[in-house]
């Protein structure tokens, strides 16, 4: 049974290691030494979670609550604020306060916490609700903090914030499991995507690494979906595979739908449970799909039934955030479901079936539910005509699929290719912003937008913009952003990277101004992507590729 102090010491060591192989070696040795009953929760805590990856975080402990706890323990808040401002890391600031001895601790009868102890305490705090819950949370945390070492206090503070900064991501844990069990890293990635949580996968492999061959979907636990690569044009598609299946790419919410008997759950692409927002879709599934157990994928689209046309994405996004007054929104914003894939049917995982066979199975079990419109062709003129039909309906374009393609959970693969009719928008995460002027003085309007550097796990700024959203959208966005505020410097506010926006732009330029090395010219926000998480944003590496393609086209 490992102590929390041992985890804190290992992570402190890992944070200072730059070499990837050495970092994986050190972390792997620690993970390998864990007992089965502490393995999953230790991995969760390393990643700043107390639940599986897809479960919405409930550990609502604000920075102000942490500061109140420390103040009650005699910490000089001016000193803490100065240290925090200097480092931008509250966990590091707390560690220094502890090292200086400027806090009242249990020096003689300090409790030594195990990892499981801390996890159980966090779950108690997580479950506090209602009147007086903040005061109880503060008392619980005081009791823990006064028994901690400097490194433990740093780690706990980071877990409470969900801002770990140790340079350990889900991909790092995948590499560790591959290293520990001698399993090909691609197999680990796919198994992780199917199971939906890296801690659960580690526990699954603990008794027998050969279990990797038997990984299956867990009904009502979402898996990471397969994603499409980008194609510049139809020639790109046919150079990769021909003939190709082309499907309409609707501008809606990608839905992963699980059914067993009379129970149905709906998850978004970011694995968020939105079942309560779409009781009409639940009813549609129950009335049409008669198989006992099934997992299908489709697109939920806001729909104008009078014109028989899709409505803009902004309409469906209003539904996704609603869990109350649903009957009102069902009438105001009706939806239509288009199915495009089937992953699991009555105990059988279908990911190794060819696309064309999965489509046939879907056709057989769908009842009266619409399938995504699709053609199979090797002729560019036919594909272009189908593309025009799609964009004329205000869809995004087409998705081309190789007829014998397997379904690879969690992977962006060239056997599926997106074909769009405009410069590819980017999904970026908001890391900061500035309070506006004039009529916008009460909300954040100038947004600092970042892409993910997948080599370091950092979110690096590539543009800032105040264009694209309405005042009402900025007001709503500001309310959400302030939940993730890290610090404020004059008019500038810095946020945890949580809220994603889709950005359109004129071109990508090299930029010495930003650490990323790139800047977007004439960037504007096209829409807020409430259906995506910070893990879904474009990477610096992808932006570099787009920049290189852009240069070739200019030459």
* DSSP assignment string, 27-78: HHHHHHTS-HHHHHHHHHHHTT-SS-TTSPP-----HHHHHHHHHHTT--HH
Residues 315/280, Cβ–Cβ less than 8 Å = no
Residues 202, 277: Cα–Cα separation, whole Å: 33
**Which among 448, 451, 426 has a CA at the least distance from the CA of 550?**
426
Q: Give strand pairing partners of 273.
A: 267
Q: Does residue 380 share a domain with residue 405? A: yes
Check the annotation: does 254 bind a ligand: yes
What is the residue whose two structure tokens read 């908001």?
Answer: 430
Query: Residue 331 corresponds to which tokens in the numbers above?
Result: 């009438």
Q: Does residue 315 share a domain with residue 204? A: no
Residues 73, 538: Cα–Cα separation, whole Å: 43
Please name the residues in contact with 177: beta carbons below 8 A apart, sequence gap of 6 or more. 31, 183, 188, 198, 201, 202, 205
Q: Does residue 314 share a domain with residue 412? A: yes
What would the pLDDT profile of 212-270 be if each residue is shown by its tens digit? 999 999 999 999 999 999 898 899 999 999 999 999 999 899 999 999 999 999 999 98
Beta strands 412-420; 253-260: pairing state: unpaired
Check the annotation: does 269 bind a ligand: yes
Of the three residues 144, 161, 178, the one that is the final residue of a domain is: 161
Q: Does residue 82 share a domain with residue 189? A: no
**Phi/psi of residue 48, nearest 5 degrees:** 80, 20
Q: Does residue 153 share a domain with residue 8? A: yes
What local confidence, expressed as pLDDT, does residue 421 receive? 63
Residue 220 lies in a domain: no
What local confidence, expressed as pLDDT, does residue 423 receive? 63
What local confidence, expressed as pLDDT, does residue 442 receive? 83
Residues 282, 258: Cα–Cα separation, whole Å: 10
Residues 373, 301: Cα–Cα separation, whole Å: 14
Owning domain of residue 526: 426-554
What local confidence, expressed as pLDDT, does residue 537 receive? 93
Where the chain has pLDDT below 70, the residues are 323, 421-423, 549-555
Please name the residues in contact with 16: beta carbons below 8 A apart, sequence gap of 6 or more. none
Residues 470/504, Cβ–Cβ less than 8 Å = no
Domain count of the fold of the chain: 4
Check the annotation: does 100 bind a ligand: no
Domain CATH code at residue 262 = 3.30.470.30
Sign of CA dihedral 268, 271, 275, 277: negative
Check the annotation: does 248 bind a ligand: no
Check the annotation: does 19 bind a ligand: no
What would the pLDDT profile of 65-103 be if each residue is shown by its tens digit? 999 999 999 999 999 999 998 888 999 999 999 999 999
Please state whether the predicted TM-score (pTM) of the whole model is above 0.75. Answer: yes
Q: Which residues are catalytic?
A: 249
Check the annotation: does 418 bind a ligand: yes
């Amino acid at each position: 049974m490992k102590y929390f102090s041992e985890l804190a010491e290992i992570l402190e060591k890992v944070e200072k290691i730059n070499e990837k192989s050495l970092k994986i070696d050190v972390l792997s040795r620690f993970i390998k030494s864990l007992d089965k009953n502490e393995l999953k929760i230790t991995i969760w805590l390393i990643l700043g979670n107390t639940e599986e990856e897809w479960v919405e975080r409930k550990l609502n402990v604000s920075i102000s609550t942490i500061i109140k706890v420390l103040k009650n323990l005699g910490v000089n808040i001016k000193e803490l604020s100065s240290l925090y401002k200097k480092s931008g890391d509250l966990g590091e600031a707390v560690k220094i306060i502890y090292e200086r001895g400027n806090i009242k601790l249990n020096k003689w009868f300090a409790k030594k916490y195990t990892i499981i102890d801390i996890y159980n305490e966090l779950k108690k705090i997580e479950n506090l609700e209602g009147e007086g819950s903040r005061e109880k949370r503060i008392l619980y945390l005081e009791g823990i903090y006064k028994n901690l070492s400097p490194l433990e206090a740093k780690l706990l503070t980071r877990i409470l914030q969900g801002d770990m900064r140790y340079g350990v991501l889900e991909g790092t844990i995948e590499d560790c499991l591959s290293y520990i069990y001698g399993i090909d890293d691609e197999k680990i990635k796919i198994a992780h995507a199917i199971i939906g949580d890296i801690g659960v996968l580690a526990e699954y492999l603990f008794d027998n690494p050969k279990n990797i061959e038997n990984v299956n979907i867990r009904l009502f636990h979402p898996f990471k979906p397969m994603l499409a690569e980008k194609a510049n044009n139809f020639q790109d598609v046919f150079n990769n595979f021909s003939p190709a299946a082309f499907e309409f790419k609707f501008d809606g919410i990608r839905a992963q739908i699980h059914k067993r008997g009379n129970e149905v759950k709906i998850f978004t692409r970011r694995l968020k449970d939105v079942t309560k927002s779409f009781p009409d879709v639940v009813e549609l599934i129950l009335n049409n799909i008669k198989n006992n157990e099934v997992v299908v994928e489709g697109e939920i689209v806001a729909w104008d039934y009078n014109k028989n046309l899709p409505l803009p994405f902004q309409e469906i996004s209003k539904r996704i955030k609603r869990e109350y007054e649903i009957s009102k929104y069902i009438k105001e914003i009706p939806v239509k479901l288009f199915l495009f894939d089937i992953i699991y049917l009555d105990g059988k995982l279908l990911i190794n079936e060819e696309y064309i066979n999965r489509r046939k199975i879907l056709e057989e079990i769908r009842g009266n539910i619409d399938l995504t419109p699709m053609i199979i062709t090797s002729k560019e003129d036919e594909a272009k005509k189908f593309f025009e039909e799609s964009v004329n309906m205000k869809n995004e374009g087409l998705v081309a699929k190789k007829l014998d393609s397997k379904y690879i959970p969690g992977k962006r693969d060239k056997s599926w290719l997106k074909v769009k009719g405009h410069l590819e928008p980017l999904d970026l995460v908001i890391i900061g912003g500035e309070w506006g002027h004039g009529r916008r003085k009460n909300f954040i309007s100038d947004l600092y937008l970042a892409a993910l550097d997948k080599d370091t796990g950092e979110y690096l700024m590539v543009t800032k913009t105040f264009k694209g959203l309405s005042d009402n959208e900025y007001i709503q966005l500001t309310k959400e952003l302030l939940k993730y505020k890290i610090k404020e410097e004059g008019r500038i506010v810095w946020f945890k990277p949580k809220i994603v926006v889709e950005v359109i732009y004129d071109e990508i330029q090299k930029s010495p101004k930003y650490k990323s090395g790139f800047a977007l010219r004439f960037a504007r926000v096209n829409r807020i992507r409430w259906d995506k998480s910070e893990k879904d944003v474009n990477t610096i590496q992808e932006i570099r590729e787009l920049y290189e393609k852009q240069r070739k086209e200019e030459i």
